[in-house]
Structure 1
């Protein structure tokens, strides 16, 4: 026996309509949710700023006395009025032009002063080396000079603190001149940093006055080179 179906009570006939209505309802709810706005009920301003003018404490106003700058009065130079009877000495300007009265000097009458040529000798080629104080009676004055120079550097050596902090070290090549009067002249230096160069210059500038070197019995300038090592421990 076949079951009988009432076509008016078949729900499948309106399923597409229900689907569309449900879809519209969901879209409306989503739109309302996105456009929904809420506001905070709390105040957005700082209440602590709502102070009446009477409650504000005014700082006392200090009055300063402004002194006028003192202007130093400069008096004009005194003008001395001379009388008409005073004689005025006039400076005579000699003419440099040659005339018939000009005396012509003969070559024999002209004395020429010869300027002495200053001799500068190297330490290696000098005949008599400069003598360091205390080496006057030494047999080998060169060896004594080198030994006394080393002692002088060790005595006056001081490693600059800035160079220690910066980790600067190295060798400074120096060259100085022992002038013909025994004093120390120009000091040339070249090293890894100016701090070490200045320290080397300070050490050599403390050298004492020496007996000057001689070339053919005449005191002359002598150049001497020595390196100074700065090494961190």
Structure 2
């Protein structure tokens, strides 16, 4: 199968920009009713397998690098989307729970396109394959961590 994409470049360029769309103003507001914390604001980020021996201040960058590697490894441009020349920007949102498992995966389209559900399903499929992680911590306690991963589907 031929993979004709600029997907990875778009992913790398966007991955460092967007963690979530929620705005949190004070330290007291960081933990919500569900005790979930935005990835960009967490004191101790979840540890992606392979980042265990990385210094604390470099774990966010390691997490993002491992996320990009995971997406590259698991990405397949949907055939139907290729045939129909469907392209678009998708954001997948999910939670890394207190046990380090991935839950509540959703995806939504950021750009107008027909049949973008095909691309949303691919983003959800990729995120659902993420490995179990060491959970993030806030004030020394494991918490749910919200994460948003942008995807840019483009055909060459």
Structure 2 partner of 1:182? 100
Deviations 1:188-227 (A, max 9, x none): 2112410000010000000000000001111000001111
Structure 2 partner of 1:127? 43
Pick from 202, 213, 216: which aligns with 2:125? 202
Structure with the bigger RCO (C-alpha within 8 Å, sep 6+) is 2
Aligned length: 117
Pick from 112, 134, 142: which aligns with 1:211? 134
List, as ranges, runs of 4+ consecutive aligned residues in structure 1 with deviation greater than 4 Å. none
Match status 1:141 vs 2:64: no
User: Between Structure 1 and Structure 2, which shows a larger proportion of strand residues?
Assistant: 2
Match status 1:223 vs 2:141: no
Pick from 67, 70, 83: which aligns with 1:165? 83
Larger gyration radius, structure 1 or structure 2? 1
3-state SS, counterpart of residue 147 of structure 2: strand
Question: Gaps spanning 5+ residues in structure 1: where?
Answer: 1-116
Partners of 2:96 and 2:108 lie apart in 1 by 19
3-state SS, counterpart of residue 162 of structure 1: helix
Partners of 1:118 and 1:232 lie apart in 2 by 39
> TM-score with structure 2 length normalisation?
0.72
Partners of 2:81 and 2:129 lie apart in 1 by 21
Report how far residue 118 of structure 1 moved: 4.0
Question: Gaps spanning 5+ residues in structure 2: where?
Answer: 1-32
Structure 1 partner of 2:25? none
